[in-house]
Amino acid sequence: MKNLYLLLAAVPMVLTACDRQPGTSTEPEPVKVASVSFASTPAVLEVGDTFTFQVVVLPENAADKRVTWLSSDPKVATVTEGVVKAIATGSTTITATTADGGKTAICTVTVDTAENVALGVTIDGVTWATRNVGEPGEFAASPEDYGNYYTLEQAPTVCPSGWRLPMQVELESLLWSKTCGWTRQNGVGGLQSGSGDNVVFLPAAGRLDETIMTASGELGYYWMTPSAPNSKYMMFSSTNSFAESNFQESALTVRCVRVDDNQIIGGDETEVTIDGVTWATRNVDEPGTFGGFPEYYGGRYTYDEAKTACPTGWRLPTRAEFESLVRSGRVWTKQNGVSGSRFGSGDSVIFLPATFRTVDSSDNTFIMTGTYWTSTPASPAGYSVVVEFGSNYVYTEFGNINTRTISVRCVRK
């Protein structure tokens, strides 16, 4: 009996051993890398400067956080183990790629001379040149210098390397700021905006009509990236400033802002699918075309104009589609200095700029709002549903189809 007891006691041990399949392990699977990003990025580097990128690999408990580094143009800047060294003026793309999964973080690094770097001041997230453009590709000698005058066709190409024309929202933010006011600097009249060390002066340089100089010292005319179809430049006086296009045949002055591609979400993608609906990543510009970048206001249209403004293969979204977009997630943010809402999550996100500015009567500050047409009709007749959002709200309202002119964001048919 004693021997039989020992045999039976061993049986469970044998069964337990047979339950484990050959070649298997009880060790947990290693955690895979989901994403990689940069903790911070440089706005611009002077020749000879260095900058060290810090990468953020998620999730935090990922098993293999190794990355490799690449510079698209080592003649401009090199990168070794995340340390970038600026070699020569220009731009290069720095890419960090994870060993696990090949996830990438990408940043455009601009290298400029010490003189040009010193010519920029940052106001409300936008780096402004402190001088007008003189000869093409060069800044004027002083902040009070009018610089040269350029036509609408010439203006987009005259900023020095690493600089561009400002958008309408950027010029409005600068000229409508509570810190902006008329002044005289070294005997030259113009507007000064900013505070402390971050101040820019825009001389009232007038305009050049063929060979006739008009309103010099009284009015300023500055080209901007146009907001179709009726705004090409900002005009200001000692008492007012606004966007218009009445003198787009004239030659006007140019003030540039620093190119910064690092904040752009979605890169060159022109469409993103969110909750089954494919959205354009940019507003409509001229009828049948999209704007050049996600933060661009684009044109403002009546409802009848908006119905045919989307490019071929696109249409106005319905109210239900906009509401689905809001439910996918919304964050009020600034992208390249432009206020607006970012909708969606993960890699499926779009940015809708806040295209209107109103005054808060309680403290005389400006409130940015985004307002967009839907294709959904409203009651009474003559109205359509409009989506409006601000920093802390999103709601739908009724827009008069004959008099309201607002922005258009399209979805795929």
- Model pLDDT for residues 186-218, shown as the tens digit of each residue: 999 999 998 887 889 999 999 999 899 999 999
Give me the pLDDT at residue 261, please: 44
Average pLDDT over residues 357-372: 66
Same domain, 59 and 43: yes
Mean pLDDT of the chain: 83
Show which of 60, 88, 113 is a domain's final residue.
113
Q: How far is CA 71 from CA 35, 59, 104, 309, 373, in A?
A: 20, 26, 13, 40, 42
Task: Please say if the pLDDT value at position 380 is more than 80.
Answer: no
* Most confident among 31-45, 165-179, 281-295 (mean pLDDT): 281-295
Residue 180 lies in a domain: yes
Closest to 406 (Cα-Cα) out of 334, 306, 273, 331: 306
H or E segment to which residue 206 belongs: none
Residue 13 lies in a domain: no
Residue 237 lies in a domain: yes
Residue 324 lies in a domain: yes
Q: Positive or negative CA dihedral for 396, 398, 402, 403?
A: negative
Same domain, 334 and 218: no
Tokens representing residue 188 in the block: 């030259």
Number of domains the chain is built from? 3
Task: Please say if the pLDDT value at position 4 is more than 50.
Answer: no
Give me the pLDDT at residue 52, please: 92
Give me the pLDDT at residue 22, please: 55
Same domain, 299 and 337: yes
Give me the pLDDT at residue 39, please: 80
Same domain, 233 and 173: yes
Same domain, 47 and 105: yes
- 259: number of Cβ within 10 Å: 18
Same domain, 232 and 247: yes
Task: Please say if the pLDDT value at position 12 is more than 60.
Answer: no
> What pLDDT, in 10s, does the model give residues 383-405?
888 999 988 899 888 777 677 88
Same domain, 130 and 200: yes
Task: Please say if the pLDDT value at position 3 is more than 60.
Answer: no
Give me the pLDDT at residue 226, please: 61
Q: How far is CA 89 from CA 97, 111, 196, 211, 273, in A?
A: 25, 5, 29, 36, 38
DSSP state of 279: E
- Residue 162's domain spans which residues? 119-258
Give me the pLDDT at residue 231, please: 64
Residue 14 lies in a domain: no
Same domain, 250 and 289: no
Same domain, 324 and 349: yes
Same domain, 166 and 215: yes
Residue 264 lies in a domain: no
Lowest mean pLDDT among 101-105, 129-133, 375-379: 375-379
Per-residue DSSP letters for 290-345? B-SSTT-----B-HHHHTTTSPTTEEPPPHHHHHHHHHT-EEEEEETTEEEEEEEE
Give me the pLDDT at residue 11, please: 43
> What pLDDT, in 10s, does the model give residues 20-75?
555 555 678 899 998 888 887 776 788 898 999 999 899 989 999 999 999 999 99
Give me the pLDDT at residue 19, please: 47
Give me the pLDDT at residue 90, please: 84
| Percent of the residues in the chain that have a pLDDT greater than 70, as a whole number | 85
Same domain, 62 and 186: no
pLDDT-based confidence at residue 263 (cuts at 50, 70, 90): very low
Task: Please say if the pLDDT value at position 228 is more than 50.
Answer: no
Task: Please say if the pLDDT value at position 2 is more than 50.
Answer: no
From CA 338, how far away is CA 126, in angstroms rounded?
9
Same domain, 275 and 406: yes
Task: Please say if the pLDDT value at position 275 is more than 50.
Answer: yes
Task: Please say if the pLDDT value at position 97 is more than 80.
Answer: yes
Residue 241 lies in a domain: yes
Beta strand pairing status for 67-71 and 90-98? antiparallel
Task: Please say if the pLDDT value at position 289 is more than 60.
Answer: yes
Whether the CB-CB separation of 130 and 119 falls below 8 Å is answered with yes
